[in-house]
């Protein structure tokens, strides 16, 4: 990539170099409804409904056009959301406004984004970030650093066994296995760690049976 194809995003005093994400931008372009439906992810809602779940702030990594961050904001959480796609973030901000909600939306690459020094959240959500292993690992580490003590980390994503299946990336190196979490998040207490088949019903791109991992853990 040459310098002329890079662009920079200024946010909270940080200057980020962001690689153009023509792929994701193209998927979100021109949409007046959410790419993954209007509802928050079902697993996210299940975890938030648990009796022991408590959070007043949330960081949503790779929040796309914002269904999850917006749902949390509607429940009174202070939400910060990060996504690499400018178009996704612009759509998200428009949907937030339509819903009368405020979410802090940051356009940045999780390969190099870091929150302002000392800033922590009560919960970090990471849903369907499909990317190379170093960025995936960095996102997990970032989640760990960005969480307050006892904070919740919650993830759902396609499992490696979903590769070559009916939806999601065909390349298993972009997908998840539960082993990665123990290595990346050693100081966490597992609430749930599941690898199995579920029926997704999340807008046009995530519909049907899929192999996923679901992971919820608390920072001790």
Ligand X SMILES: C[S@@+](CC[C@H](N)C(=O)[O-])C[C@H]1O[C@@H](n2cnc3c(N)ncnc32)[C@H](O)[C@@H]1O
Q: Give yes or no for residue 155 binding ligand X (CB under 6 A).
A: no
Bridge partner residues of 214 (DSSP): 156, 194
Least distance from C-beta 220 to ligand X, angstroms?
A: 26
Residue entry with tokens 């299946």: 165
Q: How far apart are CA 94 and CA 101, in angstroms?
A: 10
Choose the binding region for ligand X from 82-90, 169-177, 178-186, 192-200 (rule: CB under 6 A): 82-90
Q: Give yes or no for residue 36 binding ligand X (CB under 6 A).
A: yes
- Alpha carbon 97 to chain centroid, angstroms: 20
**Are 162 and 201 a contacting pair, CB within 8 Å?**
no
208's torsion region: left (phi>0), alpha (psi -120 to 50) or beta? Answer: left
Residues contacting ligand X: total by CB under 6 A: 22
**Nearest CB to ligand X, comparing residues 138 and 218:** 138
**Nearest CB to ligand X, comparing residues 37 and 195:** 37
Q: Give yes or no for residue 153 binding ligand X (CB under 6 A).
A: no
Q: Give yes or no for residue 128 binding ligand X (CB under 6 A).
A: yes
Cα torsion 197, 201, 202, 203: sign: positive
Q: Give yes or no for residue 85 binding ligand X (CB under 6 A).
A: yes
Q: Give yes or no for residue 96 binding ligand X (CB under 6 A).
A: no
Q: Which of 16, 127, 181, 188 binds ligand X (CB under 6 A)?
A: 127
Q: Which of 47, 55, 59, 64 binds ligand X (CB under 6 A)?
A: 64
Least distance from C-beta 36 to ligand X, angstroms?
A: 4
**Nearest CB to ligand X, comparing residues 20 and 78:** 20
Choose the binding region for ligand X from 1-9, 71-79, 105-113, 190-198 (rule: CB under 6 A): 105-113
Contacts of 184 (CB under 8 A, 6+ apart): 137, 140, 141, 144
**Are 128 and 155 a contacting pair, CB within 8 Å?**
no
Contacts of 156 (CB under 8 A, 6+ apart): 41, 43, 44, 127, 128, 212, 213, 214, 215
Question: Which residues of the shown chain bind ligand X in the complex (CB under 6 A)?
Answer: 21, 24, 36, 41, 62-64, 67-68, 83-85, 88, 109-111, 127-131, 135
């Amino acid at each position: 990539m040459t310098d002329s194809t890079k662009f920079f995003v200024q946010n909270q005093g940080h200057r980020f170099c962001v690689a153009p994400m023509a792929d994701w931008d193209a998927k979100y372009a021109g949409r007046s409804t959410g790419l993954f439906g209007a509802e928050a992810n079902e697993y996210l809602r299940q975890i938030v409904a648990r009796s022991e779940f408590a959070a007043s702030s949330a960081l949503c990594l790779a929040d796309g056009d914002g269904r999850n961050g917006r749902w949390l904001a509607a429940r009174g959480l202070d939400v910060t959301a990060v996504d690499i796609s400018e178009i996704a973030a612009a759509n998200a901000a428009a949907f937030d406004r339509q819903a009368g909600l405020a979410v802090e939306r940051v356009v940045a690459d999780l390969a190099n984004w870091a929150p302002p020094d000392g800033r922590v959240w009560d919960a970090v959500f990471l849903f369907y970030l499909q990317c190379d292993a170093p960025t995936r690992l960095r996102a997990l580490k970032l989640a760990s650093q960005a969480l307050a003590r006892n904070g919740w980390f919650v993830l759902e994503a396609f499992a490696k066994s979903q590769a070559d299946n009916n939806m999601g990336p065909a390349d298993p190196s972009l997908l998840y296995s539960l082993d990665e979490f123990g290595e990346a998040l050693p100081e966490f207490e597992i609430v749930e760690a599941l690898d199995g088949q579920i029926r997704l019903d999340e807008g046009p791109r995530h519909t049907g049976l899929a192999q996923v991992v679901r992971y919820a853990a608390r920072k001790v």
